[in-house]
Structure 1
Amino acid sequence: MTTPGYLKRLTRRLTEDLGDVETERISRESRARGGQRAAECCRGDEVTMHGELRSVETCSRTAKAGVKAEFFDGSDTVILKWLGRNRIPGIEPGRTVTVRGRIADLDGSKVIYNPYYELYGADD
Structure 2
Amino acid sequence: MAARPGLLRRVVEHLSADRDQLDADDTTRSLSALRGTTTPLNDLRARERVRVGGVLRAVTYPPAALKPVLVGQLFDGTGSVDLVWLGRRSIAGISPGARLMVEGTVVAGRARPAIYNPSYEILGRGR
Q: What is the identity percentage for the equivalent residue pairs of Structure 1 and Structure 2?
A: 29
Looking at structure 1, the residues matched to 111 and 125 of structure 2 have their Cα atoms a distance apart, in angstroms, of: 33
Aligned residues: 123
Q: Per the alignment, do residues 107 and 21 of structure 1 end up closer, same or farther by CA in structure 2, a change over 3 Å counting?
A: closer
| Deviation by residue 1:60-89 (Cα, 9 ceiling, x = unmatched) | 5334x2211111111111110111112111
- 1:1-124 superposed matches below 5 A: 1-34=2-35, 35-59=38-62, 60-63=64-67, 65-107=68-110, 109-122=112-125
**Which ranges in structure 1 are unaligned for 5 or more consecutive residues?**
none
| Deviation by residue 1:73-122 (Cα, 9 ceiling, x = unmatched) | 11111110111112111111111111111101233531000011111223
User: RMSD of the TM alignment (CA)?
Assistant: 2.1
Q: TM-score, normalised by structure 2?
A: 0.83
Q: What's the CA shift for 1:3?
A: 4.0
1:29–1:51 Cα contact (<8 Å) kept: no
Looking at structure 1, the residues matched to 77 and 66 of structure 2 have their Cα atoms a distance apart, in angstroms, of: 31
**Which ranges in structure 2 are unaligned for 5 or more consecutive residues?**
none
Q: TM-score, normalised by structure 1?
A: 0.84
